[in-house]
Structures are given as C-alpha cells and as structure tokens.
Chains A and B, each alone.
Chain A
Amino acid sequence: DTGVSQDPRHKITKRGQNVTFRCDPISEHNRLYWYRQTLGQGPEFLTYFQNEAQLEKSRLLSDRFSAERPKGSFSTLEIQRTEQGDSAMYLCASSRRLAGDHEQYFGPGTRLTVT
C-alpha cells in the first residue's frame, strides 16, 4: 500500500510565474483534498474532489488558483501569477468512505517559495 505522493517536494519560483503541483492519492481512495500550511500554523482547507468532481472550494482559493482531477486519480494544483504571499507548504490528502469517517491520509507536501 503506497501512500499519498506529491511532486515536486520543493519549488522556488519568481513572483509572477505560474507553478503546477501534482498529487497521487492512495489508489483505492475516491476523495482527494488540497490544504495549504504556512509556518507555525495548522493546515487550511483549499478544495476537495470526489472522483473527478470538485465538490467544495474554500474562499482562500482565489481566481489565480485552479485544481483538477481529470480522471478521478491524480490531481494538479496550479497557481498563476504567483505572489510572495503564496509561499507555503501545499499538502494533499486522500480518503475513502469507511463507516462515514473519511480518515484523511496526507502526502509529504510541496514547499513553495516565491522570491
């Protein structure tokens, strides 16, 4: 049973550039989540998918952010025209319905630094 994987693990980009992150969930999990975590804080929810459908988006997800899960397997998170405030750890998690609990398993994260 492989865990959730994320790529890349680290990304340094200049302000104004676009970046894209990838998440591969645990294979039998139908739900996939994106969170953002800044230093010293807990993760904050961005969006989640059930299969290929994006069911919920946080108000944190500005127009510059877009997430996709085209075939209900892996997902991508794109940030356009990056700003220094986008610097954070981007975490992906997946879950499956088990007695309604939806226990979420997290990947190692992608650390984004915008210079």
Chain B
Amino acid sequence: SQQGEEDPQALSIQEGENATMNCSYKTSINNLQWYRQNSGRGLVHLILIRSNEREKHSGRLRVTLDTSKKSSSLLITASRAADTASYFCATRETSGSRLTFGEGTQLTVNP
C-alpha cells in the first residue's frame, strides 16, 4: 500500500516560476528520497534527505523534512519547460530496505 501522499496531485506553472510539492508519510523513516519520472520512462533520483536532516539543496532543488509532522517538501526554483514530469517522494523505513512511494505530483511547466 502507498504510504506517502503528494500534494498537489497536479501543478501547472509558467516557466521561471517556482514549484512546490509536498509529501506526507505515516511511519518512522531512515531517509526520504525524491524522484522524477518523464512520461513512460524510468525514475531519476533527484535528492535524498536523512531523518536527522532538516533541509538540503542541490542546484535548483531544495528539500525540507519535518519528522515531527511526517512531511517533506520539494521546491524547484526558476522552473524550465524541461522540468515537466511526475515527481514522487519515497520513504525508506528505519527497518527494511524497500522504498514506499507516494502517488506523485504531475508538474507542467508552460513555456
């Protein structure tokens, strides 16, 4: 069963704007990972944040993690048309190695 829930399910913005996606989860985690998936393709790993970290940056990506609220957010700054894709959060629980994915946010960046 899916643990995570992404919010919003779909987001449409103009090129140059920032995009924020949120993810909530239910259990204790070891880390949380964000992935991107272009239509019909495999998943591309974007960024990993550990349970003892609160914020992480990678290029135009900023991820936050609030373990007390069991939530995370992904911010993409200065969006580009090429950022159009589905974005998934995935949690790795403290016991086990599997990733549990949310249902994803479909981001559309209009040129």
Question: What residues of B have a CB within 8 angstroms of the CB of A104 in the complex?
Answer: 33, 45, 99
Stretch at the interface among B14-22, B35-43, B56-64, B74-82: B35-43
Interface residues on B, range: 20 to 34
**A91 in contact with B33 given A31-B97, A45-B98 (CB within 8 Å):** no
Instruction: Mark B residues whose CB is within 8 Å of A.
Output: 2, 4, 30-31, 33, 35, 40-45, 48, 50, 88, 90, 92, 96-104
| Interface residue range, chain A | 20 to 34
B105 to chain A, nearest CB (A): 10
- B contact face: mostly helix, strand, loop, or mixed: strand
Q: What separation, in Å, do the CA atoms of A48 and B35 have in the docked complex?
A: 19
Nearest CB on A from B109, distance (A)? 20
Besides the known contacts A40-B103, A45-B98, 17 further A-B residue pairs in the complex with CB atoms under 8 A apart: A35-B99, A41-B103, A42-B2, A43-B43, A44-B2, A56-B96, A56-B98, A91-B43, A93-B43, A93-B99, A95-B97, A102-B92, A103-B45, A104-B45, A105-B45, A106-B35, A107-B42
